[in-house]
Amino acid sequence: MADWSIWQALEEWRNKRHELDPVFARAGVAPELDSLVNRIGLDLRREAPTRPLLTGNKLRDDEEIGRYHQAYYRHYDEPLEKIDGLLRRSWVPEAGPIADLIRQEVARLRGLLKEHPGTHPAFDDVDKLLQHYLHLDHPDIMINPEVLNERRRLLMDVAGYPLQVQNALKDPYNDSVPPLSSSSFRDQLHEKMAQYLAAHWLHSKVITHWYISLALDGALARKKRDATDDARIAAMMKRRWPTLSVMMPQFEQADQIWYLLITLIAIASLFFELWWIAGGLILWLYLSVGGHQRERKEIEARRSQLAARASSMKMTRDRFAHNQISLERLSFQLRQLDEQGEYFDDTVFALLGLHQHEA
């Protein structure tokens, strides 16, 4: 999946689910701030309320002038409130010093409106500061553009990775991502998770949800693979009947050669009348039949156990995909489903605890 298409997929998600807006804003991408600054500029240039005509009645005129001053203050305090709201929105953290200058200017303007009621203050300075804040080009507060470029690269490379996997799974000819059940995919996924955990500015419940879903999909794929792979199930057994395949698991025809060799030696021992050797080998072959039958029963029992756990894991994954399980509850369930830590490591549980203190 090309970089531009990953960015496009992220943009589509952002437009559909605005939870990603703060992440894009920290990378310097927030077109909605441009519209908000323009609206604030128009509001600051709106025509002020008309001063009331004096009637000559001092008491009544003082009341009208007082109401006029209050309306005048509210007229310009409204866009100043919008500026405060703008500064509370997510934006590039390095723009914080510019935001402080804007707050100082807003406080100065409010002071002028109160000290000189009904007097139009000059808003040119705050307007310039807002433009510097938006375009990150204040002459005294320089922001390295490489910082933003690196964040946008991480946004595509790390936040966009789950979307890349999703896209690869839809296309059977797309080999940009290893199979979910492979150790290569697990290593790649954990590397991306570690990068995501290290990039604090990138943290978002939406992206965390994507990564946890990928971890569940990968674990489920490995669980299904383990449930259908006799060799893997046999390797999990602590006690196995001793054969050549146990000592040389990479050798596919090990058992056939092993038992053929024992049979030939037993036949040769009978031919040369070596009764004790022949009897021992024949007994070994007889016991081997029982040992392998016992192993087969244990493999089937473990297969049923793995299949049941795979079914439970799939149910948990489906409930999480439909937002029926919180991250905290999911952490507890995954520890129950993976008691030995075969499918989920500390990185996954670190992600699950990432947002537990958020409101």
Q: Check if the beta carbon of residue 153 is closer than 8 Å to that of residue 147.
A: no
Dist CA 259 CA 244 (whole Å): 9
For tokens 């050797």, what's the residue?
277
Residue type, 21: D
Measured N-to-C along each axis, helices 3-16 and 161-170 cross at an angle, to the nearest 10 degrees, of: 100
CA pair distance 189, 347, nearest whole angstrom: 10
Angstrom distance (rounded) from CA 355 to CA 327: 8
d(CA 85, CA 113): 20
At residue 323, φ and ψ (nearest 5 deg) are 60, 35
First to last CA, the chain: 35
Task: Enter the tokens of residue 171.
Answer: 């296309």
What six digits make up the tokens of 254? 């090990």
For the chain, 359 residues long, give each residue's pLDDT as a single digit of tens.
Answer: 445 488 888 988 888 878 899 999 999 999 999 999 999 999 998 888 888 887 778 888 888 888 989 999 999 999 999 999 999 999 999 999 999 999 999 999 999 999 999 888 899 999 999 999 999 999 999 889 999 999 999 999 999 999 999 888 888 777 888 899 898 999 999 999 999 999 999 999 999 999 999 999 998 888 888 777 666 656 666 666 566 556 566 656 666 776 777 788 888 887 877 888 888 877 877 777 776 677 777 767 777 777 777 888 888 888 988 888 888 888 888 888 776 777 888 899 999 988 876 64
Tokens for 84, please give them: 């405060």
> What is this structure's pTM?
0.78
**According to the model, what pLDDT value does residue 241 have?**
54
Task: Provide the phi-psi class of 248: left if phi over 0, else alpha when psi is between -120 and 50, else beta.
Answer: beta
DSSP string for residues in 37-64? HHHHHHHHTSPPPPPPPP-S-HHHHHHH
CB-based contact 190:345 (threshold 8 Å): yes
| pLDDT for the residue numbered 359 | 45
How is residue 155 annotated by DSSP? I
The radius of gyration of the chain's CA atoms, rounded to the nearest angstrom, is 35
Q: Are 232 and 199 in contact (CB under 8 A)?
A: no
pLDDT of residue 357: 62
Distance from the Cα of residue 264 to its chain's centroid: 60
Helices and strands (DSSP H and E) totals, the chain: 16, 0
